[in-house]
């Protein structure tokens, strides 16, 4: 009988999702603009008007910039949890983050974590300088 109590919320969720999806499509058709012009009917690909053959080669710098963005974006994303955990708790609050990990013996001290993060940031800077030297950010 435990499964009956679990299936009702899931079933309601699926019904609400289906009704909302259909309602959004219907409202878009009813209230959205519907005039087709020559410009709207023209194909559009990757931010450029299709004036050449579709099999022509893209400049590799486009892909290098995209990859560099992803790498640097993910690296910065890894620093956010560290910054949150590094915040010291107030004197009247219980220990949290790195202070709690030090108390429980998971890490030796806060300085070790700081050193690891500084090493990470140094690698980040080396990667940025390498990309800069290779000319990834120079758009010709």
CA angle 131-129-66, nearest 5°? 30
> Averaged over 65-90, what is the pLDDT?
81
CB burial class (10 A; 0-12, 13-18, 19+) of residue 110? middle
Q: What is the pLDDT of residue 26?
A: 95
Indicate if the pLDDT at residue 94 is higher than 90: no
Q: Indicate the pLDDT class of residue 53, thresholds 50, 70 and 90.
A: low
Question: Is there a single domain that holds both residue 75 and residue 109?
Answer: yes
> Does the residue 47 lie in any domain?
no
Please count the structural domains in the chain.
2
Q: For residue 64, give the nearest of 9, 119, 137 by alpha carbon.
A: 137
Q: What is the pLDDT of residue 137?
A: 77
Domain housing 118? 60-134
Sign of torsion over alpha carbons 90, 114, 78, 126: positive
Question: Is there a single domain that holds both residue 88 and residue 24?
Answer: no
H helical segments located in the chain: 2-31, 38-41, 60-86, 98-103, 110-134
Question: Is there a single domain that holds both residue 65 and residue 128?
Answer: yes
Q: What is the pLDDT of residue 82?
A: 81
Indicate if the pLDDT at residue 45 is higher than 70: no
Q: Compute φ and ψ for 45, nearest 5 degrees.
A: -140, 120
Q: What is the pLDDT of residue 15?
A: 97
Q: What is the pLDDT of residue 124?
A: 85
Indicate if the pLDDT at residue 7 is higher than 60: yes
Is the full-model pTM beyond 0.85?
Answer: no
In whole angstroms, give the CA distance from residue 74 to residue 88.
25
Indicate if the pLDDT at residue 32 is higher than 70: yes
């Amino acid at each position: 009988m435990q499964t009956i109590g679990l299936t009702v919320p899931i079933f309601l969720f699926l019904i609400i999702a289906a009704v909302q999806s259909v309602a959004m499509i219907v409202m878009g058709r009813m209230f959205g603009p519907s005039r087709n012009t020559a410009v709207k009917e023209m194909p559009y690909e990757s931010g450029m008007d299709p004036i050449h053959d579709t099999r022509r080669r893209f400049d590799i710098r486009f892909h290098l910039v995209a990859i560099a963005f992803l790498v640097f974006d993910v690296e910065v994303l890894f620093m956010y949890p560290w910054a949150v955990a590094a915040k010291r708790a107030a004197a009247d609050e219980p220990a949290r983050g790195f202070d709690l990990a030090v108390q429980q013996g998971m890490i030796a001290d806060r300085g070790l974590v700081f050193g690891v993060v500084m090493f990470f940031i140094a690698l980040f800077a080396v990667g940025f300088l390498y990309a800069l030297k290779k000319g990834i950010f120079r758009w010709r």
